[in-house]
Amino acid sequence: MNISLFDLIIRWLGGVLAYLILGILLYGIWRGTQRQAGRTTGLNGGWLRSPWFFLASALLFFGVCYFGWIPLRWTVSPQMRVWALVIGSLLYFPGMLFALWGRLALGKNYFVSTGFGAQLFEGHQLVTSGPFAIVRNPMYSGFIVAAIGALLIYSTWMTLIFACFSPLTSLRARREEVALSAEFGEQWTQYSKRVPAFFPRLKR
């Protein structure tokens, strides 16, 4: 197959998947704003439901995407480009699909959080099945792996920024886990002992 065509197909499929997952996430956030708020950690959870918060977040996100979509100035041979596309695809697509699996497994329990605060819902349920039986934070794990894959596929400043900053999602995970620990007590303690935070254990 022509390298340019292979490159185009991978980029196009990656873009379609990214927009699909973004739409599902935004829909889940919108549904979450309709539910009664529960336990909150960090800053007052009211701002997580503020239209101004979502407007500012959207402007920042899409601004970084738009202005950062500049190719990195590195030159590789055609063979290296093929390897970058193959390895990138093996990271990006499974990572994004694992994150999507996590989002779907959360169902109505999904909501937005930040490194400064997290909020549960009234009647929140602790999800421990599906991808949550493998790791406690499958969405973040998936996005971290996908960010590295995206850097290899697209090689832009935006993907480099996302790859560098994706590990900071551990701060968001920590906020969420504090709320879950306070809400579910011993059930959460036993679950967190049994299941690793981000990456599966090779041995049980």
Task: Assign 155 to helix, strand or coil.
Answer: coil
158-187 mean pLDDT: 90
The answer to whether 121 and 44 are in contact (CB under 8 A) is no
We report the CATH number of the domain holding residue 101 as 1.20.120.1630
Asked if the model's pLDDT at residue 204 lies above 60, the reply is no
pLDDT digit string (tens) for 22-45? 999 999 988 888 888 888 777 666
Residue 204 lies in a domain: no
The answer to whether 121 and 37 are in contact (CB under 8 A) is yes
d(CA 42, CA 177): 12
Residue 59 lies in a domain: yes
165-182 mean pLDDT: 89
Q: With CA atoms as reference, report the closest residue to 160 among 90, 70, 89.
A: 70
User: What pLDDT, on a 0 to 100 scale, did the predictor assign at position 2?
Assistant: 80
Q: With CA atoms as reference, report the closest residue to 153 among 5, 8, 2.
A: 8
| Boundaries of domain holding 52 | 3-194
Residue with tokens 């303690």: 189
pLDDT digit string (tens) for 52-90? 777 888 888 889 888 889 999 888 888 899 999 999 999
Residue 150 lies in a domain: yes
Amino acid identity for residue 203 in this structure:
K
d(CA 131, CA 129): 6
131-158 burial code (b ≥16 CB/10 A, e <16): bbebbbbbbbbbbbbbbbbbbbbbbbbb
The number of domains in the chain is: 1
Residue 74 lies in a domain: yes
Task: Assign 114 to helix, strand or coil.
Answer: coil
Residue 89 lies in a domain: yes
Residue 203 lies in a domain: no
Q: Which residue has the higher pLDDT, 204 or 9?
A: 9
> What mean pLDDT, rounded, does the chain reach?
89
Residue 100 lies in a domain: yes
User: What pLDDT, on a 0 to 100 scale, did the predictor assign at position 86?
Assistant: 95
Residue 75 lies in a domain: yes
Cβ atoms < 10 Å from Cβ of 200: 12
Q: For the chain, first and last CA: distance in Å?
A: 42
